[in-house]
Chain A
């Protein structure tokens, strides 16, 4: 999983998408796959007791059976269509769809990866760049992530977000972001938000995402009590000191068969959904 990339990718998308999209929807889309599913990955800790913790966090989070379906391309499309039906707003539909797909694709870089073409195949797609280690608990996972290429991956996303620096400008916010999304006007009226508060709310996830990288890195490398054993390892698939979880295919033949079935199934499903539902909702929306 990516610890800060999901907060930062929303700004990169906002800065590099030509279509009119809602920033809030992009952010929601980027957070959507983990929004209601993350708690059991690490469990809820009260004192020495742990509640609602998944017995096999990787399987629960990314696999099937589990909530791994939230990390599939079709899930993003279905939620975006529900949003299009409810809000009748194309900017929200596009924003959520792009954001959710970005999250799913970003998560393919760890060792567990995501079931991109679920439900047509439960094949996990992964580049194995760093070790998925949520079974080590929140702090064990943080130490593993920021001792591996995962930390560099977050930094790469920080650079990408900064590459479209205009998105953080006051003028860009009030002329592009606010005008593309009626939710900002609603928030201003409902909560009596000043221009400063709205701008701070817009920029807040970038500041939070960027600071999160440095704060967790500082903790993992300088404050972590196990930092001696949990050394920095920027090898592919590292760090070597953590037990890595992955769900690889039995062989390349199986992988190719699953992928072909997934691509064909997803293409047909998307075409049918768009033909009979999406097109009408899109035409009805403004």
Chain B
């Protein structure tokens, strides 16, 4: 999986966490410190993992 695609998926996951988690837990997630922090953490942790996973499945 290339970096752009992995990043795109990571941002999508961050959106799902914020919308679904935010609707359920509200303020603990939807505040101006935790909200952006969730985005940064998700993108920085998930993107390399997705890329690594994608490479692992690559037959070449």
Interface residues of A (CB under 8 A from B): 7, 31, 138-139, 142, 194, 196-197, 200-201, 203-205, 207-208, 210-212, 214-216, 218-219, 222-223
Is the contact region of chain B dominated by helix, strand, or loop, or is it mixed? helix
**Which residue of B22, B26, B37, B47 is within 8 Å of A211 (Cβ)?**
B22
Contact B22 A197 (CB under 8 A): no
Contact B36 A215 (CB under 8 A): no
Contact A215 B39 (CB under 8 A): no
**Which residue of A139, A201, A218 is within 8 Å of B36 (Cβ)?**
A201
Chain B residues positioned under 8 Å from A216 (CB to CB)? 22-23, 26, 30
Cα of A138 to Cα of B40 in the assembled complex, Å: 26
Cα of A143 to Cα of B46 in the assembled complex, Å: 33
**Which residue of B7, B20, B26 is within 8 Å of A196 (Cβ)?**
B7
Cα of A211 to Cα of B23 in the assembled complex, Å: 10
**Which residue of B18, B26, B30, B44 is within 8 Å of A194 (Cβ)?**
B44
A sample of 27 cross-chain residue pairs with beta-carbon separation below 8 angstroms, ordered by A number, consists of A139-B26, A194-B44, A196-B7, A196-B44, A200-B39, A200-B40, A200-B43, A201-B40, A203-B39, A204-B35, A205-B32, A207-B39, A208-B32, A208-B36, A208-B38, A210-B15, A211-B22, A215-B19, A215-B26, A215-B30, A216-B23, A216-B26, A216-B30, A218-B23, A219-B22, A219-B23, A219-B24
Contact A204 B39 (CB under 8 A): yes
Cα of A201 to Cα of B44 in the assembled complex, Å: 10
Q: Which of B26-60 contact A (CB under 8 A)?
A: 26-27, 29-30, 32, 35-40, 43-44, 47
Contact B24 A223 (CB under 8 A): yes
Q: Which of B22, B37, B47 has the most CB of A within 10 A?
A: B22
Chain A residues positioned under 8 Å from B37 (CB to CB)? 204
Cα of A264 to Cα of B30 in the assembled complex, Å: 41
Contact A211 B19 (CB under 8 A): yes
Q: How far is the CB of B28 from chain A (nearest CB, A)?
A: 12
Q: How far is the CB of A179 from chain B (nearest CB, A)?
A: 21
Chain A residues positioned under 8 Å from B23 (CB to CB)? 214-216, 218-219, 222-223
**Which residue of B14, B20, B29, B30 is within 8 Å of A207 (Cβ)?**
B14
Q: Which B residue sits closest to A212, measured CB to CB?
A: B30
Cα of A133 to Cα of B24 in the assembled complex, Å: 22
Q: Which B residue sits closest to A209, measured CB to CB?
A: B35
Q: How far is the CB of A201 from chain B (nearest CB, A)?
A: 6
Contact B39 A214 (CB under 8 A): no
Cα of A204 to Cα of B42 in the assembled complex, Å: 10
Q: Which A residue sits closest to B24, measured CB to CB?
A: A223
Contact A207 B18 (CB under 8 A): yes
Chain A residues positioned under 8 Å from B22 (CB to CB)? 211-212, 215-216, 219
**Which residue of B18, B20, B43, B44 is within 8 Å of A208 (Cβ)?**
B18
